[in-house]
Chains A and B, each alone.
Chain A
């Protein structure tokens, strides 16, 4: 009994290992080939290492290609996540802690936006940004994302605020705190983990979006990294090794963040799945 159950346990781990290998083999191939010179790329098999490694050249050149785009995306994510989190938390706080006429109606109006798929508003949003004079400026990567991020943020944070004991807020009220003080000194510390989760969800969405910057940003100096990578691929004229190095570098920042804040990612991804 004991022996067979241990054998079964080993079998499970082996199966899981096989699945993980299947999941990660594209990335392994990517890493291996990102260290090859053009000659090595053509004359060795894709699954074997080629020596000498051309690690430094490829990565240095790849980084030079996408460095401005990486900075741009980082800038956009920091601004968007900060704005979304603060605004959404404040509105959610208002929805949860104030009683006013039409509260549920207004909340319902926000929730209804979750049903609107992205492709429907693509062209009208493009024309709107054109009329507002935002095309080709950095605002086009900030304002629409801040607006869109509110929807799920308000929904999640309202539920959270309502689950917190009201006494906490009443105590602050009795101590003479104003609405903003109450939000800042009681509400924000309470929901900080939720805010981090929300920030990561928004950062992921922004990091992944390709179509919107493709439509609205003509100026290469303002491109986010997804578009820069895609453009490198389309233009051609770059060796595969360098291209792959650029892919790896584009994925690295979020992976590093994941390493330190994996819990928030797990929570963010699972609550993000409920959005359409």
Chain B
């Protein structure tokens, strides 16, 4: 604890200022410097208007103290309304429009949803999602539980601390880098896996290029499916079980398997539910890996609904249709979240 405090002092007193100085120097001397004054004039005007407004409001706040909290919350709500409320609401509306990136919008009623019934790519993407989701949930819920039990059983508290910390490290690496590493590992021509197969005298496999395998490669990418956060959540649950219960287990002479089945599993039910719902929602939201590595291919073997939506809007300029798919997915997410809340609430009672 002391040592860690010392290192953070070193960080804030020495490394952080040094890094900031280096950064500013780099910014000043690079070929294309930052030019805040090069922003479009209407933005500067807007900023000036906002400053004037703030000044007027400060006067107002002095006259009417009851208004103050509302005035204080304005900057946050201004940002939220523009960047967080308007876009999703517009998405819900534009699902019923033909909408192009040029800005042309034309009301077409339920046509998009009718088209969805015939969009075989979309159907395939939901089948892919279901397959991926089921595998993902099973693996990302069970494996971290095993690892958490293992760490929990280790006697030395220092070792426990280090294991937890080391499992967090992969989460700090940018996800794009992790996707690209796996793209290499499973590459047909140069990948590590195929080189190992060749060395063992076997034929190389197609991995991402094989339509039958490609989807499962995305499950393999999670290997060994030990997400640091899930392990942390389980460990917190195990810590909550309490010394007394565990001690009485020991006194009664319960074996590990008995304790796991009759004490840990029932008491960790909340964590298991939470993680399974989070992992379902994570699969729904996780389409960037497919976009980076296969673009949904070969054919539509690795297409995800959200990826289909992105490609429809970006590649083919059918933004209205993209919004319609987004609406359907959103309803799915809301349903799952509702389920999540309900399960969690019943757990708390």
Q: Does A51 contact B (CB under 8 A)?
A: no
Closest B residue to A220 by CB, please name it. B32
- State which of B121-129, B163-171, B211-219, B261-269 sits at the interface with chain A: B163-171
Given the contacts A119-B285, A138-B34, A251 and B154 also touching, CB distance less than 8 Å = no
Task: Give, as a whole number of angstroms, the nearest-CB distance from B244 to chain A.
Answer: 22
Within 8 A of B (CB), among A124-147: 124-125, 127-128, 131-134, 137-139, 143-144, 146-147
Contact B329–A29 (Cβ < 8 Å):
no
Task: Give, as a whole number of angstroms, the nearest-CB distance from A110 to chain B.
Answer: 7
What separation, in Å, do the CA atoms of A78 and B27 have in the docked complex?
Answer: 13
What separation, in Å, do the CA atoms of A133 and B330 have in the docked complex?
Answer: 28
What separation, in Å, do the CA atoms of A262 and B8 have in the docked complex?
Answer: 9
Bitwise interface map of B from 124 to 163 toward A, beta carbon under 8 Å scored 1, else 0: 0000000000000000000000010011011100010001
Q: Which residues of A contact B296 (CB under 8 A)?
A: none
Task: Give, as a whole number of angstroms, the nearest-CB distance from B143 to chain A.
Answer: 9
Q: Does B238 contact A (CB under 8 A)?
A: no
Within 8 A of B (CB), among A204-223: 204, 207-208, 210-211, 215, 221
Contact A221–B32 (Cβ < 8 Å):
yes
Task: Give, as a whole number of angstroms, the nearest-CB distance from B259 to chain A.
Answer: 15
Q: Point out the residue from A143, A207, A211 that lies within 8 Å of B310, measured CB to CB.
A: A211
Contact B80–A147 (Cβ < 8 Å):
yes
Given the contacts A19-B224, A210-B292, A255 and B172 also touching, CB distance less than 8 Å = yes
Q: Which residues of A contact B253 (CB under 8 A)?
A: none
Where chain A touches its partner, the secondary structure class is helix
Within 8 A of A (CB), among B83-124: 83-88, 90-91, 94, 99, 101, 103
Q: Which residues of A contact B236 (CB under 8 A)?
A: 270
Q: Which residues of A contact B87 (CB under 8 A)?
A: 120-121, 124-125, 128
Contact A240–B184 (Cβ < 8 Å):
yes
Given the contacts A128-B82, A251-B172, A262-B165, A269 and B228 also touching, CB distance less than 8 Å = yes
What separation, in Å, do the CA atoms of A126 and B4 have in the docked complex?
Answer: 43
- Chain A-chain B contacts (Cβ-Cβ < 8 Å), number: 265
Q: Which residues of B contact A106 (CB under 8 A)?
A: 73, 77
Contact B73–A147 (Cβ < 8 Å):
no
Closest B residue to A248 by CB, please name it. B177
Q: Point out the residue from B69, B180, B287 that lies within 8 Å of A94, measured CB to CB.
A: B69
Contact A255–B73 (Cβ < 8 Å):
no
What separation, in Å, do the CA atoms of A131 and B43 have in the docked complex?
Answer: 12
Residue from the set A46, A67, A75, A106 with the largest chain B CB neighbour count within 10 Å = A46
Q: Which residues of B contact A185 (CB under 8 A)?
A: none
Q: Which residues of A contact B178 (CB under 8 A)?
A: 26
Contact B101–A127 (Cβ < 8 Å):
yes
Task: Give, as a whole number of angstroms, the nearest-CB distance from A112 to chain B.
Answer: 9
Q: Does B11 contact A (CB under 8 A)?
A: yes
Q: Which residues of A contact B77 (CB under 8 A)?
A: 106
Given the contacts A23-B224, A26-B181, A208-B176, A269 and B40 also touching, CB distance less than 8 Å = no
Q: Point out the residue from A29, A74, A94, A117 that lies within 8 Å of B284, measured CB to CB.
A: A117
Interface residue tally for chain A (C-beta within 8 Å): 98
Given the contacts A71-B27, A266-B168, A119 and B224 also touching, CB distance less than 8 Å = no
What separation, in Å, do the CA atoms of A216 and B125 have in the docked complex?
Answer: 26
Contact A266–B164 (Cβ < 8 Å):
yes
What separation, in Å, do the CA atoms of A119 and B163 have in the docked complex?
Answer: 34
Contact A100–B70 (Cβ < 8 Å):
yes
Task: Give, as a whole number of angstroms, the nearest-CB distance from B250 to chain A.
Answer: 12
Contact A119–B15 (Cβ < 8 Å):
no
Q: Point out the residue from B83, B319, B327 that lies within 8 Å of A147, measured CB to CB.
A: B83
What separation, in Å, do the CA atoms of A131 and B83 have in the docked complex?
Answer: 12
Within 8 A of B (CB), among A240-276: 240, 244, 247, 250-251, 254-255, 258-263, 265-266, 269-270, 272-273, 276
Given the contacts A100-B69, A262-B168, A19 and B233 also touching, CB distance less than 8 Å = no
Contact A255–B319 (Cβ < 8 Å):
no
- State which of A53-61, A148-156, A159-167, A168-176 sits at the interface with chain B: A148-156
Given the contacts A98-B68, A260-B10, A270-B233, A117 and B329 also touching, CB distance less than 8 Å = yes
In the complex, the 6 A-B pairs of residues with the closest C-beta atoms, listed nearest first: A121-B87, A147-B83, A260-B11, A124-B87, A124-B90, A147-B79
Which A residues form the contact surface with B (CB < 8 A)?
9, 12-13, 15-16, 19-20, 22-24, 26-27, 29-30, 41-42, 45-47, 67-68, 71, 74-75, 78, 87-88, 90-91, 94-95, 98, 100, 103, 106, 110, 113, 115-125, 127-128, 131-134, 137-139, 143-144, 146-148, 150-151, 154, 179, 204, 207-208, 210-211, 215, 221, 225-226, 229-230, 233, 240, 244, 247, 250-251, 254-255, 258-263, 265-266, 269-270, 272-273, 276
| Given A90-B72, A119-B329, 4 additional A-B pairs, CB 8 A | A123-B91, A123-B99, A254-B172, A276-B333
Cβ contacts A to B, 23 pairs, < 8 Å: A19-B147, A22-B224, A27-B181, A45-B195, A45-B199, A46-B192, A74-B23, A88-B76, A113-B84, A121-B84, A123-B91, A124-B87, A128-B82, A154-B76, A208-B175, A210-B175, A229-B176, A230-B180, A244-B184, A250-B177, A269-B171, A270-B233, A272-B229
